[in-house]
């Protein structure tokens, strides 16, 4: 098919005036000059061999005596025709390529313009989320404060029935506050407005605090919570508060998706110039289809409205951003109906030169602006 198409293209070029315009088609002139030596050399060799005078009359005599030499005279014109047609084909393809390049450039400009508009829309969306969540949080704090005062009977006596109703209300207010905090954290991280107080800290402290904070929740759900920490200090260069947030989020997820009477473990081990934290549960696990999307915005393993747990699908996105800001990486291994392992690796840091609290020494701290891309 390609050979046939090339032949048809060549025949089409023979019909084009450009093929025969030697003044414009340099390929035709090149072909003529390329074929010209053939008759000249043939006639010259015959003249020398026959000891004929070297002049035009001798060439004319040869042409009259030997008509075959007229075939040689056709060569320059034949080469001019072939090269001219090839030149026309090349010019046609150059024009096609030029049109394609122009079209590609136009499409690229359109895409760049669309991308700029999307980035601006994304920026406005992020600012809107930050402003709305901030405005929602202020009255929520007031509502929680007054609920606590009423439950503490600072505003008068309440009946047991009223206490139960207020406790239900408080739990839902706390749930709402958690969701708002999550959205607020994400919008600030995405906008690059979060500062990290970096200092030499002990990663074991973050694990211990997270386990301690979630022990009661695990017990309420009849889940055993275990931790395994190294004997030596797990020094890294990071923000202890943000690291505690990471570990808390991961352990909380493990508890959330575990079955009653299950076990959740947090294990910290050294290896290869990094500290490796593993959060493991033996709960419902994650399907292979959902696993690659877990670190995307607003994505959950079970995104249906009837799911038995809360959340908006930002927790792991926030965790990933914080881990990456610490020069680390995070990944998940899971088998459905078997369990899940979440792995976090962060680089080892040298111990501070002077005895310092793990992340509380102001002189050791260094504030680093969080930088993130907003490509989505």
Instruction: For residue 325, give the nearest of 374, 372, 273 by alpha carbon.
Output: 372
3-state secondary structure 265-331: EEEEEEECCEEEEEEEECCCCCCCCCHHHCCCCCCCCCCCCCCCCCCCCCHHHHHHHHHHHCCCEEE
Alpha carbon distance 187, 126 (integer Å): 5
Higher pLDDT, 354 or 208: 208
| Beta strand extents in 162-291 (DSSP E only) | 195-202, 224-228, 235-238, 263-271, 274-281
pLDDT at 176: 83
Alpha carbon distance 323, 328 (integer Å): 5
pLDDT at 309: 56
Point out which residues pair with 225 in neighbouring strands.
264
Q: What's the pLDDT band for 301 if we cut at 50, 70, 90?
A: low
pTM above 0.75, yes or no: no
Tokens of 359: 């992340």
Q: Which residue has the tokens 């390049």?
A: 101
Instruction: For residue 309, give the nearest of 154, 208, 175 by alpha carbon.
Output: 175
pLDDT at residue 354 tops 70 = no
Higher pLDDT, 341 or 185: 341
- Spell 216-235 as b/e; 16+ CB within 10 A means b: eebeeeebebebebeeeebb
Q: What's the pLDDT band for 264 if we cut at 50, 70, 90?
A: very high
Tokens of 104: 């590609």
Tokens of 172: 């839902």
pLDDT at residue 49 tops 70 = yes
Q: Which of 10-19, 44-53, 57-66, 163-172 has the highest mean pLDDT?
A: 163-172
With pLDDT > 90 as the criterion, what percentage of the chain qualifies?
Answer: 35
Q: What's the pLDDT band for 303 if we cut at 50, 70, 90?
A: very low
pLDDT at residue 374 tops 70 = no
Contact predicate 332/291, CB 8 Å:
yes
Q: What are phi and psi of 197, to 5 degrees?
A: -90, 90
Cα angle, residue 169 at apex, residues 163 and 173 outer, rounded to 5°: 140
Alpha carbon distance 125, 140 (integer Å): 22
Q: What are phi and psi of 153, to 5 degrees?
A: 60, 30
Per-residue pLDDT reduced to its tens digit, 307-332: 445 556 788 988 999 999 999 999 99
Alpha carbon distance 283, 14 (integer Å): 76
Alpha carbon distance 342, 319 (integer Å): 11
Q: What are phi and psi of 299, to 5 degrees?
A: -110, 135
Q: Which of 131-140, 152-161, 274-283, 311-320 has the highest mean pLDDT?
A: 274-283
Q: What is the mean pLDDT of residues 223-250?
A: 94
Point out which residues pair with 158 in neighbouring strands.
none
Average predicted confidence (pLDDT) for the chain: 82
pLDDT at residue 194 tops 80 = no
């Amino acid at each position: 098919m390609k050979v046939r198409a090339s032949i048809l293209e060549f025949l089409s070029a023979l019909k084009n005036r450009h093929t025969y315009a030697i003044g414009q088609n340099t390929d035709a002139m090149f072909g003529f000059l390329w074929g010209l030596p053939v008759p000249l050399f043939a006639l010259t060799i015959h003249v020398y061999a026959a000891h004929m005078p070297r002049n035009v009359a001798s060439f004319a005599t040869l042409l009259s005596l030997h008509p075959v030499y007229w075939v040689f005279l056709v060569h320059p014109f034949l080469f001019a025709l072939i090269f001219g047609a090839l030149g026309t084909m090349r010019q046609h393809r150059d024009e096609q390529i030029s049109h394609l390049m122009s079209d590609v450039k136009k499409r690229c400009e359109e895409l760049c313009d669309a991308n700029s508009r999307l980035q601006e829309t994304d920026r406005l969306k992020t600012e809107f989320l930050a402003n709305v969540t901030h405005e929602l949080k202020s009255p929520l704090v007031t509502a929680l404060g007054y609920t606590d005062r009423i439950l503490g009977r600072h505003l008068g006596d309440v009946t047991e029935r009223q206490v139960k109703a207020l406790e239900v209300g408080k739990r839902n207010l706390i749930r709402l506050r958690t969701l708002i905090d999550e959205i607020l954290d994400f919008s600030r991280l995405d906008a690059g407005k979060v500062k990290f107080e970096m200092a030499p800290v002990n990663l074991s402290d973050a694990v211990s605090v997270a386990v301690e904070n979630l022990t009661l929740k695990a017990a309420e759900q009849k889940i055993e919570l275990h931790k395994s920490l190294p004997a030596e200090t797990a020094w890294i260069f990071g923000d202890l508060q943000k690291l505690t947030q990471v570990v808390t989020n991961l352990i909380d997820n493990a508890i959330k998706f575990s079955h009653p009477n299950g076990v959740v473990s947090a294990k910290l081990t050294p290896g290869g110039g990094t500290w490796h934290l593993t959060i493991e549960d033996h709960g419902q696990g994650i399907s292979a289809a959902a696993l690659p999307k877990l670190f995307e915005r607003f994505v959950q393993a079970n995104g249906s409205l009837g799911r038995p747990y809360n959340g908006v699908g930002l927790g792991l996105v926030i965790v990933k951003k914080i881990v990456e800001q610490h020069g680390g990486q995070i990944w998940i291994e899971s088998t459905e109906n078997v369990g899940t392992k979440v792995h976090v690796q962060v680089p080892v840091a040298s111990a501070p030169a002077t005895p310092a609290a793990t992340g509380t020494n102001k002189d050791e701290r260094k504030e680093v602006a969080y930088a993130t891309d907003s490509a989505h």
